[in-house]
A and B are shown apart, each in its own frame.
Chain A
Amino acid sequence: MPLISLNNLSKIYPLGNQQIVAVQELDLRIEAGEFAVLAGPSGSGKTTVLNIVGALDTPSTGRVRVDGCDYREMKPKALADFRLRRIGFIFQSYNLIPVLTAAENAEFTLMLQGVAPKARRAKISALFAELGIAGLEERRPNDLSGGQQQRVAIARAIAPEPAVILADEPTANLDSHTAEDLLQLMRRLNREKGTTFLFSSHDPLVIAHAERVISLRDGRLENDIRQEIG
């Protein structure tokens, strides 16, 4: 059974008297352990698909199954809990909570899960070391570079050991050198931990690192290519 399964998925947004079709009749399957990117120009529907997979948005029609769960059968509270335990998010603007330190930000999802403070701190310390940001635990987001903030965001996403990490344009605010570093880091996590990554990006660098490139155009699947990564 695929980790992510989208069947005949459509999403239509009402805009005044008009209807904007963001995604049309999309069928997609992503297996566990994949490192895939939803590629396409702005307005192609990649963020919409990512939001629907992440249970942040609901499809107008179609069916979504992630990690064996059918979203249609789940209530909002169950969806929130599913997001907490089975999905990790990495955002374009890092979206760390400014009043929390780097370590507290990374611990946030564990805290929501009710993990004890000592266990949380131990796990985050190990993750910070793994992600190359050891020693930055007590800094606030404003005192970190973009790359460092994104690493903290990655730590927050992977800390609960989710089934899939959804990354929306994760390199958009980073210089190419930092972006390259981060992509290699995520690739390593994918290989070593088997974490599934699904990106949405039009950054050629991200596309170059992905094993699978799912191209969307006007909300429809244009191409679905698997590529060899060196």
Chain B
Amino acid sequence: METLLLAWRNVWRNRRRTLITILAMSFSLMLIQAFHNLSFGVYAQMVDSGVRSGSGHIAVYRGDYALSRDDRLLWVMDEMGVMGVMGNLQTRITALDGVKAVLPRIYLPALAQSSRESRGILLTGIDPIAENGINPLLKQIDAPALIKSLDGRDALVGSRLLSELKLKVGNKFVVTAQGPEGQLVSELLRIRGLVKSGIREVDGSLVMVGRQRAALMTGQSEAIHELAVILENPDLEEKLLPLIGAMLPADSGLNAVSWELAMANLANAIKLDYASQKFIFLIIVLIVTIGVVNTLLMSVMERIREFGVILAVGASPARLRATVMTEALLLGAVSMLFGNLLGALATWYLVEIGIDLRDFIPETMEFGGVVFDPVMRAAWDINYMLQMSAYVLLLSVIASLYPAAKAARIAPAVAMRHH
């Protein structure tokens, strides 16, 4: 208790220096927490948007479709033996706690032709009713412009593709894909609505139709490539992935993969961005460490004579070392508390208000193949905040090791001659 009291008073000997150090540490902690939480929020939103329009949090594929995108890796739930007493796979996965939707999809590379132009496209067969309200690509489309049936000829077309084909909503166009025997199969479709995702690649190549209409081109009306599982909470992925995997018959060739594998581009882009952030955080931490070492070392150097006296009257070097380390710990604790307060305030602002980039960036922003909201909003990552707080404390103690060792090595007779 006495050591704590003495250390606390020592910390405030030079108020200005202590305040500057605490402010530097607190602001650094705030910056690290706030920026991480901002990235955490933006990435969460991007992942959410990405998984809803893409693979889902968990996807069921046949073989290595996740990596190869080989359109021959089609599968039909009945034929894969996944029908059972509990109903078909889609129903059984939907029944799991935490599963919001299970979306069967089929993806076919094809050629779209109007009377004036032709373009390579990705014909995506969806379950329109199930996707509505989940898939962000459908959110901007008015209800009358949405496709309704699984096997209808109505199609949603990417906005850029529409203009490149020189077509309008209501026009018809032909889609040609390769059939099961290698023959060309064509379908006449009618444009019912426009998809404006903001992603150049999507808007320039997407044609969405009912799942059965697309599957008919493969010769099997129930064939799909993907069962995209959307979860209520992304944190449930770790728990549900093995459960879903266990539902798949061992000899079916089906496997359940996480979105990180299914959407490797997005996952890698996020990982890369986090890595560069960590480097910046490391620099901040290094600067703070130097600041703490400097403060403590100056504080020790100023008190050499006093330390000599304390040793002379009988304190052990270990006690002196403990006093300096306690001072560092207090410096770290105050900085941690203040930094957390600032970090929480900054995060709260970024969660509630966010950073509005609409005035600066006129077009939609894309990252890792996913559009993200121009109003960037943070999300609370309490674990990370606590982890960073602990680092600040640990860092303070580590930074005090050298000054504390220096204080403990002082020879009292020499120190008392020090001015």
Contacts and interface: CB of A to CB of B under 8 A. Distances in A.
A177 B19 CA distance: 43
Contact of A112 (B309, B313, B412): B313
B311 A80 contact: yes
A80 B13 contact: no
B416 interface: yes
Interface in B284-324: 305-306, 309-317, 319
Pick the most buried of A77, A97, A98, A100: most chain B CB atoms within 10 A of its CB.
A97
> Chain A at the B interface: mostly helix, strand, loop or mixed?
helix
Interface residues of B, number: 22
B9 interface: yes
B220 interface: no
Interface extent on A, as a size class?
Answer: 20 to 34
Contacts of B12: 99
Interface stretch (A32-40, A66-74, A84-92, A123-131): A84-92
Pick the most buried of B9, B306, B310, B313: most chain A CB atoms within 10 A of its CB.
B313
A56 B412 contact: yes
Contact of A100 (B6, B305, B314, B411): B6
B6 A84 contact: no
Nearest to B305: A95
Contact of A85 (B309, B314, B319): B314
B313 A89 contact: yes
A83 interface: yes
Given A95-B305, A95-B306, A99-B6, A84 B412 contact: no
A84 B2 contact: no
Interface string B87-131: 000000000000000000000000000000000000000000000
A99 B9 CA distance: 6
B306 A97 contact: yes
A85 B314 CA distance: 8
B313 A84 contact: yes
A112 B317 CA distance: 12
B10 A80 contact: no
B13 A98 contact: yes
B413 interface: yes
Contacts of B316: 77, 80-81
Interface string A25-57: 000000000000000000000000001001011
A91 B13 contact: no
A80 B107 CA distance: 81
Given A51-B413, A56-B413, A112-B319, A97 B310 contact: yes
Contacts of B6: 97, 99-100
A109 interface: yes
Given A91-B309, A100-B6, A83 B314 contact: yes
A156 interface: yes
Nearest to B311: A80
Contact of B313 (A51, A76, A109): A109
A197 interface: no
Nearest to A92: B416
B314 A99 contact: no
A111 interface: yes
Contact of A80 (B305, B309, B314, B416): B314
Interface of B: 2, 6, 9-10, 12-13, 305-306, 309-317, 319, 411-413, 416
Given A100-B6, A113-B314, 17 more contacts: A51-B413, A56-B311, A80-B315, A83-B312, A83-B314, A84-B314, A87-B314, A89-B309, A89-B313, A91-B309, A91-B416, A95-B306, A95-B309, A97-B310, A99-B6, A100-B9, A157-B313
6 contacts: A57-B411, A80-B314, A91-B309, A95-B305, A98-B13, A112-B313
